[in-house]
Amino acid sequence: MKDERALFAWLRTILHNANIDRVRLRRRRPEEAESLDAVTDTLSNGAAADELALSRDFLRAMNRLTIEHRQVLLLIGLESLSYREVADELGVPIGTVMSRLARARERLRALLEDGA
């Protein structure tokens, strides 16, 4: 069990670093970065128009969040990690995780209501 957790932490670290590299590349050479349209085209396979619009809005809103806010949202919401596990993963205090999560949810909600 301990080895499995270490493996998942190691894989998340690799994915995190790959994402950071992608963000940096996008800042240096935005024309080479994967476009939002390419992602939504992938999502559109079999998706209804309403679902596609919601997916597009959600992706746009997520992309407007800071990297710190996206990290916390994804680790807690997608990976189902506890606040303590996220704090350990990111090397920050648990209070920082809670604060980032609250701010990220608030910002995401605002972006989605405004139509990001």
Mean pLDDT per 10-residue section of the chain, whose length is 116 residues:
65 69 67 51 56 77 90 87 91 95 92 78
Q: Range of 15's domain? A: 1-33
Same domain assignment for residues 26 and 15: yes
Same domain assignment for residues 26 and 47: no
Please give the full DSSP string across 7-76, using - where no structure is assigned. Answer: HHHHHHHHHHHHHHHHHHHHHH-GGGSPPHHHHHHHHTTT--HHHHHHHHHHHHHHHHS-HHHHHHHIII
pTM over 0.85: no
Q: How many domains does the chain have?
A: 2
Same domain assignment for residues 97 and 40: yes
pLDDT for position 32: 46
